[in-house]
A and B are shown apart, each in its own frame.
Chain A
Amino acid sequence: MNEIPVIINRLSQSFLLNCRLFILTLLFALPLGMLIAFGSMSRFRPLRWVMRTFVWVIRGTPLMLQLIVIFFGPGLLNMSFSWPNGEAGRFTAAVVAFVINYACYFSEIYRGGIESVPVGQYEAGLVLGMTKRQIFFNVTLLQVVKRILPPIGNEVITLVKDTALARIIANKEIIMMAGEYSNKGLIWPLFATGIYFLVFVGALTILLDWLEKKLGYFRV
């Protein structure tokens, strides 16, 4: 019986890996998605084509497969690059795969958001002598943020649960940890992992609702 606190402690420890992966993915994927979005809206056709193909490939294949390719690819292809040994390497590879995957999803949300701002807003800025940069930062951006907040929130919540996929390349995240117990015949830790995700997503939901309310003072 006194095993319970030990198990909970180990589950919590392993959930930290999920949290780290979640935060690092957002930190890099949110801005990278912006770059991809601008690329896929570029007037320079080859760039636009490359970016849209890239987004198609990444969104069109399972994240699980991408994790495997990114982690094992360099070794199998005899590339000069290789991931660091051990835990650090597995975790870094997972972050890279997650960032690329989520940046592509974010980029499409950004693109939709930017394209949904009426062209009249842009023209109103132009005739008032604003530069394109000023129009983007002072007129368009906040309207885009307001529009994309709900779909971004959706992706962010999906990301929380997707972090469990990192175990495919042997990252000891919470479900992998719980799986070790269930292999030994102890099933409740697996169920307990659900509570961690629920609490995390609950907190996120409150934060997202708060942000939406903050932007509720105007209408687009």
Chain B
Amino acid sequence: MAFLEVQGIEKCFGNLKVLNKIDFSLEKGEVIAIIGSSGSGKTTLLRCLNFLERPDKGRIIVNNKVIFDASDPTTQRESEVRKKRLHFGLVFQNFNLFPQYTVLKNVTLAAELLARERPDFKQEKKAILKEIQERGKLLLSQVGLSDKLDYYPHMISGGQQQRVAIARALALEPDILCFDEPTSALDPELTGEVLKVIKNLAERNTTMIIVTHEMDFARDVADRVIFMDDGVIVEQGPPEEVFGNPKEERTKQFLTRYNKN
């Protein structure tokens, strides 16, 4: 069984079916790019994986453990959902950095709060917090922001903010890192720096699911591409096949439209 198995996910908002029988799997170290037009359900799929939406049907299995099963309420307990979320990290389109904290604190805050639950926190407080700080600094140096540790989010550019958001998501060492159109809210000249960071992560075998409109980037970085339309997976395969030789008519139409723009 693959590291991540998504089986038969369905999700309705009212009468609108936004996800229909979604099946896919992901191996450890693999990068999947999800492409498709707006409203095709890509974002909702990521939100389901991160427990921000609850699918109406289907199962999510990570590392041979069923972490969500729509037909089994015992997998949906609020208290456990919080821990299960930590399998996944999510980088938002709009960054969603915490404005009142410095860049470094944005990265370390969640880890510090989680550390309080450790039984040895009281005795080892100083050492634990120092370790979290060091790790935060290391992650920020990896995204090229060592010189911005004490800046507040409004003082740095959108591209830099998104790189902070990536470091923040990495701080909790998720098994799978999800990106929801990470460059869509950025000026064109700033997308490059963010894509470079993501590409770096891919080269270090980070397991990732990337929803993106950057076709060249998807082709370059992904091991597999999923094309979604109207809530279903129309086609999936290696990037050379999906981009170079699409089988489905809808994929062809989408890619032609894209190339024209």
Contacts and interface: CB of A to CB of B under 8 A. Distances in A.
Nearest to A139: B98
Dominant SS at the A interface?
helix
A199 to B, nearest CB: 34
B253 interface: no
Contacts of A134: 113
Contacts of B100: 142-143, 146, 218
Contacts of A143: 99-100
A129 B82 contact: yes
Contacts of A126: 50-52, 85
B97 to A, nearest CB: 8
Interface in A108-161: 118, 120-121, 123-131, 134, 138-139, 142-143, 146
A217 B152 contact: yes
Contact of A129 (B52, B85, B92, B99): B85
Contacts of A121: 96, 98
A218 B154 contact: yes
Contacts, number: 61
Nearest to A121: B96
B94 A128 contact: no
For this complex, into which size category does the number of interface residues on chain B fall? 20 to 34
A218 B172 CA distance: 25
A192 B33 CA distance: 74
B143 to A, nearest CB: 17
Contact of B82 (A124, A131, A138, A219): A131
Contact of A127 (B52, B99, B109, B153): B52
Interface in B106-126: 109-110, 113-114
B86 interface: yes
A124 B178 CA distance: 13
B168 interface: yes
Interface string B148-168: 000011100000000000001
A76 interface: no
A129 B169 CA distance: 11
B36 interface: no
Interface string A204-220: 00000000000001111
Contacts of B34: none
A123 B169 CA distance: 13
A217 B99 CA distance: 9
Residue picked from B51, B96, B114, most chain A C-beta under 10 Å: B96
A124 B98 contact: yes
A138 B109 contact: yes
A218 B99 contact: yes
Contacts of A118: 94, 96
A134 B117 CA distance: 12
A134 B152 CA distance: 21
Contacts of A127: 50, 52, 85, 88-90, 169
B99 A128 contact: no
B77 interface: no
B260 interface: no
B110 A123 contact: no
Contacts of A138: 109, 113
Nearest to B114: A129
Contact of B113 (A120, A130, A220): A130
A120 B154 contact: no
Contacts of B168: 128
B52 A219 contact: no
A8 to B, nearest CB: 46
Interface of B: 50-52, 82-83, 85-86, 88-90, 92, 94, 96-100, 109-110, 113-114, 152-154, 168-169, 172
CB-based closest 10 A-B pairs? A128-B110, A124-B96, A120-B96, A219-B154, A127-B90, A218-B100, A218-B99, A142-B100, A129-B86, A127-B50
15 contacts: A120-B96, A121-B98, A126-B50, A127-B50, A127-B88, A128-B172, A129-B82, A129-B85, A129-B110, A129-B113, A129-B172, A139-B98, A146-B100, A218-B100, A218-B153
Given A123-B92, A126-B85, A129-B110, 20 more contacts: A120-B94, A123-B52, A123-B96, A124-B96, A124-B98, A126-B52, A127-B52, A128-B110, A128-B169, A129-B82, A130-B110, A138-B109, A138-B113, A139-B98, A143-B99, A218-B154, A219-B99, A219-B152, A219-B154, A220-B99
